């Protein structure tokens, strides 16, 4: 005596394969259309020229023999110069670029206090891997490093 087809394993298995494929393809199409590729660069030539300009600014920081220590404690950021301190005392810009999440990028202004340390605060959460860039207001030089935060000790932040 034969059992009906709907009580057997193989017909249901053969039906399940295309049904699961359609469901997964719908999920992948939704995922592909609802997310944005923030790390893709549209104009590689322009980006290459910008990299050369940034390298010139890093070289200018080397020529000025700038050496600093960076401290990030919760939302407080401080930079202490050992050599090459800016003589005019104007504020510095520090930018934190998250390595994978562009929406977490933040930038803040550091002002010099009476002891010569540049300080600032941010509301952003600074945990994870960051590409940090330090420049003066006129952007004459640039120091950049990749750092894993949080860290309890000083970070040697040199060009």
Strand order in the sheet with 106-112: 143-149, 128-136, 92-98, 106-112, 118-121, 76-83, 67-73, 155-156
For residue 158, what pLDDT is reported? 81
pTM value > 0.85:
no
For residue 87, what pLDDT is reported? 80
Please state the length of the chain.
159
For residue 42, what pLDDT is reported? 61
For residue 49, what pLDDT is reported? 63
80/116 Cα distance (integer angstroms): 7
**Cβ proximity of 101 and 70 under 8 Å:** no
DSSP secondary structure of 91-134:
-EEEEEEESS-GGG-EEEEEEE-TTS-EEEE-SS---EEEEEEE
For residue 108, what pLDDT is reported? 93
For residue 103, what pLDDT is reported? 85
pLDDT tens, residue order, the chain (159 aa): 688 988 999 999 999 999 999 999 999 999 988 887 666 556 666 666 666 666 788 888 888 888 888 998 888 999 998 888 888 878 899 999 888 888 888 899 999 988 889 999 988 888 888 899 988 888 888 888 888 888 888 888 887
Domain positions in the chain: 8-34, 44-156
For residue 63, what pLDDT is reported? 84
For residue 48, what pLDDT is reported? 64
Architecture of the domain made up of 44-156: Sandwich (2.60)
37/100 Cα distance (integer angstroms): 10
């Amino acid at each position: 005596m034969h059992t009906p087809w709907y009580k057997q394993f193989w017909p249901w298995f053969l039906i399940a394969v295309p049904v699961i494929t359609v469901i997964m393809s719908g999920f992948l199409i939704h995922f592909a259309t609802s997310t944005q590729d923030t790390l893709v660069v549209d104009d590689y030539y322009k980006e290459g020229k910008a990299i050369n300009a940034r390298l010139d600014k890093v070289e200018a920081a080397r020529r000025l023999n700038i050496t600093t220590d960076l401290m990030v404690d919760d939302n407080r950021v401080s930079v202490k110069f050992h050599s090459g301190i800016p003589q005019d005392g104007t504020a510095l810009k520090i930018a934190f670029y998250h390595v994978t999440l562009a929406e977490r990028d933040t930038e803040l202004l550091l002002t010099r206090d009476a002891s010569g340390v540049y300080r600032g605060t941010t509301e952003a959460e600074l945990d994870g891997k960051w590409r940090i860039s330090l420049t003066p207001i006129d952007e004459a030089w640039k120091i950049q490093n990749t750092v894993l935060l949080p860290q309890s000790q000083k970070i040697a932040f040199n060009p």
